[in-house]
Amino acid sequence: MAKEDGNLAAASLQMDLFSDGAPQDRFVERVDASPGPVVEVEDLFQETTDAAAVSPPVAATAVSTADTVGGISDAGEELVANRRNRGKVATTWADIEGLNDTLKVKEAVKGNVWPKPDYQQLIDDGMQPMVAHVFKQVYDSVAAKPAVRAGGTLADTHLKEYIAGLQRVEQGLMKWTQDTAALKAWASQNMRVAGATLGRQVALSDLKPTNSLLEYVYPDGWRNHRDEIRLVGGNKLLGALQPGYEEIKRAGKAIDDGWPNKRESWEVRGYKVLEQASVRVDAHPRDKQFSLSVDRYYLEAFDTEDAAMAAAASIKPYVLVGKRGFIGSFDTRELAVESAKERTRGAKGKDAQIIDKGYNVADAERIGASRRMEGEDISSERLMEEFGLRGVNFGNWMKTPAARAEAQMHLNHAFDAFHDLAEILDVPPKALSLGGMLGLAIGAQGHGGRFAAHFVPGVNEINLTRTTGAGALAHEWAHAVDHYFARQAGLDTAEEPYLSEHATLGDTKTRHELVGNKFVAVKSPRFGDVRPEIVGAFKALVQTMTKRQQTAEEARSEDAKYQQKLERNVDGWLGSIGRDFKGMEAEFNVLAKRVRAGDFGGERVAIGQSTLVHPVVAEMRDLYKAKHGRVYSIDQLKGLQSNLDSLAYRREKAAHEQAMAADAEAMPERRQVSTDYVLNAARLDKDKGGKAYWSTKCELFARAFDSFVADKLEAKQAKNSYLSFGVRETETVPVGHERESVNAAFNTLIGEFVVRESELGPALFSTAPGPSSTLPVPEIHAEIERLRGQWKGMPPVLVVGSPRDLPFDAPANADGAYHDGKVYVVAGNIADMRQMQKVMAHECIMHHSLEEMLGNYGFSKLHHGIQSLKAKGDETVCSIAENVRSRYGELPPDIETKEIVARAGEQCLDEQGNVRVQYGFMKGVFAGMTSWLRDHGIAVPFTNVELQGILHKGGEWAKNGTGLEAGRREQTLPQKVVGNLSGLFVGKILGVADGVVTQKVGRAGETVVHSMANLTEPVATGDIAEIAYKDGKGTVRNLERGQVHGLDR
């Protein structure tokens, strides 16, 4: 370091910390955002949950499904990644403790736990710039996320310790920057260190340590926090917490460069303008050359000093340099800056050209089979239920009356697109929700700009941007299914929680665990219980996307190029060796000519104990020895011989292939090479700069899937530019033969998709089927008889060997079913007594009503509680009640309560399976169900998720009868049950009795009840009817007869 620089840094430090503007002792308190008021919900069976048990603010909540006046409304859960929900970041472990593993890892990062400080604001508030930059150096040294060893798994203990460590560093740093005495002592000591470094006389007593920043952060000693420090930043952090002369010098330079003022984009990209830079010409006598440098940047070398001086004279006053050195010189600073900006704009423009940009929804185009009635508009609720989504959300502006038409277009196109995708994949529409995991947001999360959409793992939501989201649905669903299988493989906490990112790794993973006093290797399956067929299909697909076999032409061309390279290398070695044969040029040239002609003299000969060379090389050695009386450099001869060996092999190979050229079946030796698809992606990443994006496995997977979907549609003369970006031949997707291979690999993967019935509808099934051992059939029969003795009214139970023995189609892993009034137990899929009891609970409980399970007193208390919450205007209960009313009209209060419970049962659990605070009344329902099961001989514990599935199943069974049948009561609803319906209902008439018409509508098979008095014409059982309500009257159109009865519309 130059002495002038050291004096400047020391003087700057002294001015900063001893001027009148030095910070005074002051108290600074960090105030976290309040989580907001907690809405208390009366628990009908137990005390209200303590505030400490309330779900974190980021947990999903149910929202009203009632239409916003004049606008489109949300349906289902409030999706937590919505931009409108962002505000509070994770600052403590308590904020994220209740999240799933993927979300914990996503939230426990430096930017959330310790948001980036506003350094300009710190300076404006009185902190000296030098101290503020030291603050920045400490912040920058902290790991962006918990630092675990490569391949290690992040556990809750790591995350908790990381958060605590960041808070410790932040608090200690703030205390140190506010302690004027400590800052002055630190400054004085470092000025003395600077003086000693620059050669001044300094007393050793002046260099003694003072209370340091490190001691403020770790008052009990940093060695007591070794594990925490490793997670938070390691040695880099420890160094930054001991700021000294180098840190001061770094701060001074940054301040001189204008910090903390924000830099322009060209400066961020590494360009810099040097004013009046020093130009220097240096002589190099050994090489007889003269080098030209500007400042510290080398330009080029010249053979003469005059040429170098002429080049130096041409350097203009303002020099532009970049990360790789000198770029050019200019007469004015403005010209230099404009050149830097032009380079930056060029990079951005190039990057922008290759982005897969979506469409505006108004420009979306679809060709194909109709998915809706002509002119039919899809509601948020319909879209959610048709495909089993957790929720459908819109951004705030999208729900205004002004955006209604645009939002409606999104709903209609999304409905058609999901159906097209389900048909391509050959799965039920509801399976696209991936077992109810997936949510959809439109114009609610994105920022527009570069990307048309995104998928958020952990919260498992697709967001389509309002202006360019059309076209991205297939791409984002590919991310969703990729993450879905990764979750089942136990990769939730991986840095990239997508199966495609791990598929090419080995089937087992090894980690070292401390056992006793030593670490031992522990192996475990990498992909958990995911079916080998799914993993294998992913492996093959990733391999196909990234690798291919060379063509014969490519192999021949590569061999020819390599042979040319070897020949150049041999020429280089001959030239280097020839310079040492002065006075023997003629003799050496004869030998060199033989080498170039391929005449190496025959078999290799020994010139040492372990050195074999071709005879021509040995002759060179002998020639040199005869002239100089000593042997030539063995290293030079070995270098030449090595290249001759390779060249000889290549020439023999080329001769062999030429001799075989007449054989049409003869193929050159080929190897695996990178596909054009992955090479193009790598080039795009290089042009973009920064973190890899285009070439990551998950992005390759998603873009290839989008292209696959587009090709599938085109093969049927169909098109859906809302679902897919469309058929294209660009560098962002596979093309040609590579595309055909990738599409075939996708067909294989999709062929391995197995759909099974989950508690909340059809879901893709990936885990390995069947237990390794089963419960003996006699024990199954004995358990059925035991339960029959305790379970009054238990339906008939039949035991079959496998799902193939059931009287209906069922997935291979089915362990039980309820069909035609009977319960079936599949013995081949029952692993133990615990599973047996759960099967009985799931299937037999459907035969009993909610009143039976809760008892008269329990149901009465539940009914009173729900109706009281409704009367008080409770937002959750009122929104569900409004939804029930819009479906079934005005119901008697007791039936309305059952419908509210059924709806709440589908939405009441968060990601961790806990009852959300606003659904407190459901805890009483679950408690009552558990108690009833225990009384009937089912002693195994049930999770809330399992109880939710049982409740859902029972509700579906109850609705399959006439009207809104509740349990086994088989009552016929009176005429007053229905009324005030609105909208259009299309479907089969299931029954007509006692003034009530029951109709099955929609693909989901939902039952709607009409009052005959409100219909303009009678209908008959079995009719396919369209009933459209206007002013309380339903106009009937029989679709089979094409007749319309009733009011003019």
Please give the backbone phi and psi of residue 589, each rounded to the nearest 5 degrees, phi first: -65, -35
632 and 696 housed in the same domain: no
**Letter for the amino acid at 179?**
D
Please give the backbone phi and psi of residue 293, each rounded to the nearest 5 degrees, phi first: -130, 145
Q: 764 falls in which pLDDT band (50, 70, 90)? A: low
In this prediction, residues 49-76 reach a mean pLDDT of 46
Q: 212 falls in which pLDDT band (50, 70, 90)? A: confident
| Furthest-apart CA atoms within the chain: distance in Å | 124
101 and 231 housed in the same domain: yes
Q: Answer whether residue 167 is part of any domain.
A: yes
3-class secondary-structure state, position 413: helix
Q: 1018 falls in which pLDDT band (50, 70, 90)? A: confident
Euclidean distance between CA atoms 547 and 678, whole angstroms: 8
For residue 18, what are the domain limits? Answer: 3-23+88-256
In the chain, the number of structural domains is 6
* Contacting residues for 687 by C-beta, under 8 A, at least 6 apart: 347, 350, 351
Q: Can you give the length of the chain in residues?
A: 1049
- Predicted local distance difference test score (pLDDT) of residue 345: 66
367 and 472 housed in the same domain: yes
Buried b / exposed e over 982-1021, threshold 16 CB at 10 Å, is: eebbbbebbbbeebbbbbbbeeeeebbbbbbebbebebee
Question: Which region among 131-135, 687-691, 740-744, 871-875 has the lowest average model confidence (pLDDT)?
Answer: 687-691
- Predicted local distance difference test score (pLDDT) of residue 69: 47
Residue 1048: is it exposed, middle or buried by C-beta count within 10 angstroms (0-12/13-18/19+)?
Answer: exposed
Q: Answer whether residue 861 is part of any domain.
A: no
Euclidean distance between CA atoms 24 and 125, whole angstroms: 11
Q: Answer whether residue 905 is part of any domain.
A: no
> Would the pLDDT of 53 be above 70?
no
- Predicted local distance difference test score (pLDDT) of residue 39: 29
Question: Which region among 286-290, 480-484, 659-663, 675-679 has the lowest average model confidence (pLDDT)?
Answer: 659-663
Q: Answer whether residue 988 is part of any domain.
A: yes
130 and 230 housed in the same domain: yes
- pLDDT, one tens digit per residue, over 499-519 is 999 988 888 877 777 676 777
As a whole number, the mean pLDDT across the chain is 77
Question: Which region among 245-259, 329-343, 653-667, 1000-1014 has the lowest average model confidence (pLDDT)?
Answer: 653-667
More confident residue, 546 or 760: 546
> Would the pLDDT of 670 be above 60?
yes
Give the residue from 591, 539, 584 showing the smallest Cα distance to 749.
539
Residue 535: is it exposed, middle or buried by C-beta count within 10 angstroms (0-12/13-18/19+)?
Answer: buried
Q: 702 falls in which pLDDT band (50, 70, 90)? A: very high
- Predicted local distance difference test score (pLDDT) of residue 847: 58
Q: Answer whether residue 617 is part of any domain.
A: yes
Q: 473 falls in which pLDDT band (50, 70, 90)? A: very high
Report the CATH number that the domain containing residue 396 is assigned in CATH: 3.40.390
Give the residue from 849, 796, 799 showing the smallest Cα distance to 821.
796
Q: 451 falls in which pLDDT band (50, 70, 90)? A: low
382 and 348 housed in the same domain: no
More confident residue, 969 or 862: 862
Report the CATH number that the domain containing residue 1043 is assigned in CATH: 2.40.50
599 and 714 housed in the same domain: no
282 and 338 housed in the same domain: yes
> Which of 122-136, 194-208, 514-528 has maximum average pLDDT?
122-136
- Predicted local distance difference test score (pLDDT) of residue 794: 82
Please give the backbone phi and psi of residue 824, each rounded to the nearest 5 degrees, phi first: -115, 135
More confident residue, 807 or 86: 807
Euclidean distance between CA atoms 332 and 275, whole angstroms: 9
243 and 275 housed in the same domain: no
Last residue of a domain, one of 803, 821, 845: 845
> Would the pLDDT of 49 be above 60?
no
* Contacting residues for 182 by C-beta, under 8 A, at least 6 apart: 176, 210, 211, 216
- Tokens 């409770």 — which residue? 874
13 and 143 housed in the same domain: yes
More confident residue, 954 or 1010: 1010
In this prediction, residues 180-195 reach a mean pLDDT of 73
- Quickly count helices (H) and strands (E) in the chain: 33, 31
For every residue of 199-264, DSSP letters joined together read T----GGGG---S-HHHHH-TT-GGGGHHHHHHHTHHHHHHHTS--HHHHHHHHHHHHTTTTSPPP
Residue 50: is it exposed, middle or buried by C-beta count within 10 angstroms (0-12/13-18/19+)?
Answer: exposed
More confident residue, 845 or 62: 845
- Predicted local distance difference test score (pLDDT) of residue 648: 83
**Letter for the amino acid at 160?**
K
For every residue of 582-612, DSSP letters joined together read TT-HHHHHHHHHHHHTT---SS-EESSSS-E
> Would the pLDDT of 417 be above 90?
yes
Q: Answer whether residue 954 is part of any domain.
A: no
Last residue of a domain, one of 756, 786, 804: 756
Half-sphere exposure of 797 (CA within 13 A, CB side): 27
- Predicted local distance difference test score (pLDDT) of residue 979: 43
- Predicted local distance difference test score (pLDDT) of residue 708: 95
Last residue of a domain, one of 791, 819, 845: 845
- pLDDT, one tens digit per residue, over 926-942 is 888 888 888 888 877 77
- Predicted local distance difference test score (pLDDT) of residue 1029: 75
More confident residue, 7 or 530: 530
User: Which one-letter DSSP state was computed for residue 772?
Assistant: S
Question: Cβ(888)–Cβ(902) under 8 Å?
Answer: no
Which residues make beta-bridge pairs with 983? 1029
In this prediction, residues 781-787 reach a mean pLDDT of 86
- Predicted local distance difference test score (pLDDT) of residue 80: 59
Q: Answer whether residue 910 is part of any domain.
A: no
Which residues make beta-bridge pairs with 1024? 988
- Predicted local distance difference test score (pLDDT) of residue 75: 74
Q: 8 falls in which pLDDT band (50, 70, 90)? A: very low
250 and 165 housed in the same domain: yes
3-class secondary-structure state, position 552: helix
- pLDDT, one tens digit per residue, over 624-655 is 888 888 889 888 888 888 888 888 887 777 77
- Predicted local distance difference test score (pLDDT) of residue 566: 85
Q: 888 falls in which pLDDT band (50, 70, 90)? A: low
In this prediction, residues 304-311 reach a mean pLDDT of 88
- Predicted local distance difference test score (pLDDT) of residue 351: 41
Q: Answer whether residue 670 is part of any domain.
A: no
375 and 444 housed in the same domain: yes
Sign of CA dihedral 331, 332, 337, 338: negative
Q: 956 falls in which pLDDT band (50, 70, 90)? A: low
- pLDDT, one tens digit per residue, over 251-289 is 888 887 678 877 777 877 778 888 888 888 888 877 678
342 and 431 housed in the same domain: no
In this prediction, residues 230-247 reach a mean pLDDT of 88
Instruction: Count other Cβ atoms within 10 Å, centred on residue 287.
Output: 10
Euclidean distance between CA atoms 496 and 424, whole angstroms: 27
In this prediction, residues 196-209 reach a mean pLDDT of 44
- Predicted local distance difference test score (pLDDT) of residue 354: 45
- Predicted local distance difference test score (pLDDT) of residue 935: 81
- Predicted local distance difference test score (pLDDT) of residue 527: 84
> Would the pLDDT of 664 be above 60?
no
- Report, in this order, helix, strand and coil percent for the chain, each rounded to 5: 50, 15, 40
